[in-house]
Amino acid sequence: MINRIIAVYPGRFQPMGRHHKATYDWMVSSFGAENSFIVTSDKVVLPDSPFGFEEKSRIAQAYGIPAESIKNERVVYAPPRYGFLSGENPMTTAVVVVVGQKDLQDSYDPKTDKIEKARFKPGVTLDGTKRNGQPTYFKSYIPNTPLQGFDVHGYVVQAPHQAVDIAGVDMSGSALRRYLPQASDEEFAAAMGFDDPEVRDIIRRRLMTENFSRAEKGTQEYSTYLEQVMDELKHIKSTYESRKKKSARYRKEASKIQDAYSELRKLKRKNDKLLHSDENESFDRKALKEWFNKDYNKRLITENFEHYKKIIPMLNSNDVPTIQQACELGETLGYFKIYDVEEYRSAIEWSLLVPYKELQPFLDACAELGIDTDKPYRGQGGIFYSHPFVTIIIPKQDPRFARYRVK
């Protein structure tokens, strides 16, 4: 005697869309909210299944589906193996599996250019007969007819097709994965049917990593590629929950994942350093002169804003020989005049006179490089401006010994 019918809507939900929500609503209207469940797994396989269970559950909850109605099962089309049914009597509880049309009919998959076999084939795996003469496990669900418990049979019912349009095509998980990464916030809300910034970020982050591809070293794309792989490793490691006692057996695996993450981070730092090598390049006197003299026009100093950005780091280097070299080059090229060099007990100071018309570009370049020339001197070295001088100061680590001898 069956005293309860439980309906399950299994699927990958990569990600869940409005068409899935419409099918869930139909299931609730047919079997009741307390008897209706979404069943999905935690399996992540790129590129077509980028979402884990927790992320899928969060998306479903954004549609108003209760968390307790979303179940994590390793095998989603096997009711006898459902963990959440362990408290149910398998002889008095029937299970109805809600499916779509593509689960009952062969269909063409344009992505693989192949025919995708139906999950349930009428007369074979559904309402069929096994080789031993026994009926197959799954049977068609017919309302108001006698049913058997889920230990003997499971039942299949086709939900009405939920036609939802997105960007001119019928909505599906594949269509959403293609559309959402480039969608604006407004387009995202219209396509998904809700506006939840947290869930939007989850979906975008996962779909951005879904289509990541390899790139050449020394490019910005390579750094992005490494970031995406690192993000995936972090997600995988988090699923182990190795810090919890119940998952302590996974500690070794989690440690290996962390080692891989650390190596990728080193690779990214090296690549970033390579990308910005031009900005961080160390110039000797000859190289700097050649760089300055290239297309140089002393009378139009505002055009040499980028030149200042090369010499200013040398003036701010806190290294006596480098500062001395930069001062000599700047004076030779006409950027400023060395007015005085003084050695005190606690510091060495270079006082530079910058022509009035050239002063503002010099100070602007300092500001763009993050150097505050208006700060008061408090024992720290650097570049300071107090009309009419630009002053370079290096504090002595030990005031008892001279580091620089003024000629």
CATH number, domain of 126, equals 3.40.50
202 located within any domain: yes
Specify the pLDDT at position 129.
93
pLDDT digits (tens, 9 = 90+) for 306-329: 677 888 999 998 888 889 888 888
Residues 386 and 325 in one domain: yes
Residues 290 and 385 in one domain: yes
What is the Cα 243 distance to its own chain's centre? Answer: 24
**Does residue 399 carry a pLDDT above 60?**
no
Mean pLDDT value across residues 340-356: 83
177 located within any domain: no
Structural domain harbouring 219: 187-275
* Phi then psi dihedrals of residue 199, to 5 deg: -70, -40
**Does residue 6 carry a pLDDT above 80?**
yes
Q: Which of 167-176, 259-268, 365-374 has the highest mean pLDDT?
A: 365-374
Please state the pTM of the whole predicted model: 0.54
Residues 155 and 8 in one domain: yes
Residues 355 and 305 in one domain: yes
Q: How far is residue 274 from each of residues 215, 217, 223, 267, 271, measured CA to CA in Å?
A: 15, 9, 11, 11, 5
Residues 65 and 104 in one domain: yes
pLDDT digits (tens, 9 = 90+) for 143-179: 999 999 999 999 999 999 887 877 666 778 888 888 8
Residues 74 and 41 in one domain: yes
Residues 310 and 377 in one domain: yes
Residues 290 and 356 in one domain: yes
Q: How far is residue 126 from each of residues 77, 163, 227, 260, 340, measured CA to CA in Å?
A: 13, 25, 46, 46, 95
Residue with tokens 């959403």, as numbered in its chain: 176
**Does residue 298 carry a pLDDT above 50?**
no
Percent of the chain scoring above 70 in pLDDT = 82
Residues 351 and 369 in one domain: yes
Q: How many CA atoms lie within 13 A of 351 on its CB side?
A: 10
* Phi then psi dihedrals of residue 220, to 5 deg: -65, -30
Residues 17 and 78 in one domain: yes
Specify the pLDDT at position 299.
41
User: What's the CA gap between 222 and 175, in Å, rounded?
Assistant: 27
Specify the pLDDT at position 295.
41
Average pLDDT along the chain? 82
The burial of 157, by beta-carbon neighbours within 10 Å (0-12 exposed, 13-18 middle, 19 or more buried), is given as middle
User: What's the CA gap between 176 and 162, in Å, rounded?
Assistant: 15
pLDDT digits (tens, 9 = 90+) for 31-83: 999 999 999 999 888 778 889 999 999 999 999 999 999 999 999 999 999 99
Q: For the chain, what is the domain count?
A: 3
